[in-house]
Amino acid sequence: MTAGDLVIATPRGLYCPPGDFYIDPWRPVDRALITHAHGDHARRGHGAYLAHRQSEHVMRARLGDDIALQTLAYGEPVTLNGVRVSLHPAGHVLGSAQVRIEHAGRVWVASGDYKLDADPTCAPFEPVRCDVFITESTFGLPIYRWPAPAALFADLNAWWRANAEAGRASIVYAYAFGKAQRLLAGVDASIGPIVCHGAVEALNDAYRASGVALPATHRVTDAAIDKAALKRALVIAPPSAGGTPWLRRFGEHADAFASGWMRIRGARRRRGVDRGFVLSDHADWPSLQRAIAATGAPRVIVTHGSVPVMVRWLAEQGLQAGAFDTDYGGEDDDAQPEAPATTDPDRATGAEPGNDPGADPGADSGAHPAYPRLLYF
């Protein structure tokens, strides 16, 4: 780290000293800027939250209606203790944002999670010129290269259609927030009915409330979904639903997993599914390179993922490269072991069953001090 840095790593999270705020902190703080509503970035317990306006429905559904939340549009500036802050599209999930920080003639940008691939469910990534770029590197290895979305969805639709014609349901395991809605927006809904696990359907409601167009979906308990319909259905469920009694309703079925990790040989076998579809809401290796280059930043700091490899590659490009030790990477995009699903998924609230999106896995065992609920930015 360098004296006068606009962002530093602390035990509570990434902190901006002149602005006196944190970005995606993993322990309770007074003021938290949130890049997106995945549980490893947006946690319970902060005094006040600032996020993009399209994150509001999801954040309140997951963290509680009573959180002190201020929202901004993309590009709308706010001044915090003399520091100019604005949010810019990250292309990761609905409401995801990069945080631009400007102070004393310097500009830093914290990316949060991001991708460059087209996704109709969220605003596309926009590069932001800066002096220092703080980037993720979840898939920061050369092996990770995503297929074109059109080709991926053509493959998935063909698989679903073949299963429907054979009279068996097609179950796709995908993370409930972001990945599931991207699947819904990309599939051909004319093939058959679409059934969603309760954890997915709760997030679908939040997306629709934010103005995102999704095809008609059903819960398995809906009267319109009889046994004949289930045999033609596409079923989208979180990975935690695998092996639970909920699946028995579908009888004979084919299953698949949608994840960037499906790019690795053996990942599908370890998941125990018939098919693997390579679909990620993170940037692949070429996209990470393009995104970093587009910022024009001479200094880059890597937060999570394949950190040593990315830092080494950045240094080889002549950039000043370093890393922050963070607690990110524990909830989204296919990666982590799943807790058992709830026995009543159709009453789910949008959090993955058994996976508290507001939990603080890095917290001390003792109680944290209370923070005032009405402490706004």
Confidence of residue 351 (pLDDT cuts 50, 70, 90): very low
Instruction: Give the end of a domain, one of 260, 277, 294.
Output: 277
| Domain closes at, from 240, 261, 277 | 277
Residue 113 lies in a domain: yes
Q: Are residues 110 and 220 both part of a single domain?
A: no
From CA 24, how far away is CA 326, in angstroms rounded? 10
Report pTM. Answer: 0.87
Report whether pLDDT(365) > 60: no
Q: Are residues 135 and 180 in the same domain?
A: no
User: Are 273 and 285 in the same domain?
Assistant: no
CA separation, residue 250 to residues 195, 220, 229, 256, 371 (Å): 10, 9, 10, 14, 46
d(CA 248, CA 363): 38
Number of domains composing the chain: 2
Residues 138 and 285 in one domain: yes
The residue from 308, 327, 346 where one domain ends is 327
If you compute the radius of gyration of the chain from its CA atoms, what whole number of angstroms results?
A: 21
The pLDDT of residue 331? 54
- Is the residue at 161 inside a domain? yes
The bridge status of strand 69-72 relative to strand 48-52 is parallel
Query: Residue 35 maps to which CATH number?
Result: 3.60.15.10
Residue 138 lies in a domain: yes
Asked if pLDDT for residue 49 goes beyond 50, the answer is: yes
Closest residue by Cα to residue 237 from 170, 186, 332: 170
CATH number of the CATH domain containing 236: 3.40.50
**Do 265 and 172 share a domain, yes or no?**
yes
Q: How far is CA 306 from the centre of its chain?
A: 17
Phi, psi of 209 (to 5 degrees): -65, -25
Q: Which of 187-196, 244-253, 366-375 has the lowest mean pLDDT?
A: 366-375
When mean pLDDT is compared across 13-27, 110-124, 361-375, the lowest value belongs to 361-375
Q: Determine, yes or no, domain membership for 62.
A: yes
In a domain, 336, yes or no: no
Q: Which domain holds residue 241?
A: 149-277
- Choose between 359 and 286: higher pLDDT: 286
Rounded Cα–Cα distance for residues 173 and 238 (Å): 5
Q: What is the pLDDT of residue 347?
A: 42
* pLDDT of 346 above 60: no
Mean predicted confidence (pLDDT) in 38-47 = 95
Encode burial over 126-135: b for 16+ CB neighbours within 10 A, e otherwise.
ebbebbbbbb
174 and 263 part of one domain: yes
Is the predicted pLDDT of residue 364 greater than 80, yes or no? no
pLDDT confidence of residue 1 = 60
Residue 296 has pLDDT above 60, yes or no: yes
pLDDT at residue 108 greater than cutoff 90:
yes
Do 112 and 235 belong together in one domain? Answer: no
- Tens digits of per-residue pLDDT, 1-15? 677 899 999 999 999
The mean-pLDDT minimum among 160-164, 185-189, 263-267 falls in 263-267
Q: Are residues 185 and 98 in the same domain?
A: no
CA separation for the pair 45, 27 (Å, rounded): 8
In a domain, 351, yes or no: no
What was the pLDDT predicted at 332?
Answer: 55
Mean pLDDT rounded to a whole number for the chain: 88
Q: Higher model confidence: residue 167 or residue 367?
A: 167
Same domain, 29 and 132: yes
- What does the pLDDT read at residue 270? 81
Residue 297 has pLDDT above 70, yes or no: yes
> Residue by residue, what is the 3-state secondary structure of the chain?
CCCCCCCEEECCEEEECCCCEEECCCCCCCEEECCCCCCCCCCCCCCEEEEEHHHHHHHHHHHCCCCCEEEECCCCCEEECCEEEEEEECCCCCCCEEEEEEECCEEEEECCCCCCCCCCCCCCCCCCCCCEEEEEECCCCCCCCCCCHHHHHHHHHHHHHHHHHCCCEEEEECCCCCHHHHHHHHCCCCCCCEEECHHHHHHHHHHHHCCCCCCCCECCCCCCCCHHHHCCCEEEECHHHCCCHHHHHHCCEEEEEECHHHHCCCHHHHHCCCEEECCCCCCCHHHHHHHHHHHCCCEEEEEEECHHHHHHHHHHCCCEEEECCCCCCCCCCCCCCCCCCCCCHHHCCCCCCCCCCCCCCCCCCCCCCCCCCCCCC
Question: Would residue 354 count as lying in a domain?
Answer: no
Lookup result for tokens 């290895």: 141
| pLDDT at res. 341 | 35
State the Cα–Cα distance between residues 18 and 8, nearest whole angstrom: 11
Q: Are residues 124 and 209 in the same domain?
A: no
Average pLDDT over residues 130-146: 97
Task: Please indicate, yes or no, whether residues 199 and 245 belong to a single structural domain of this protein.
Answer: yes
Whether residues 101 and 247 fall in one domain = no
Token couple for 252: 């004979």
pLDDT tens profile 298-316: 999 999 999 999 999 999 9
In-domain check, residue 23: yes
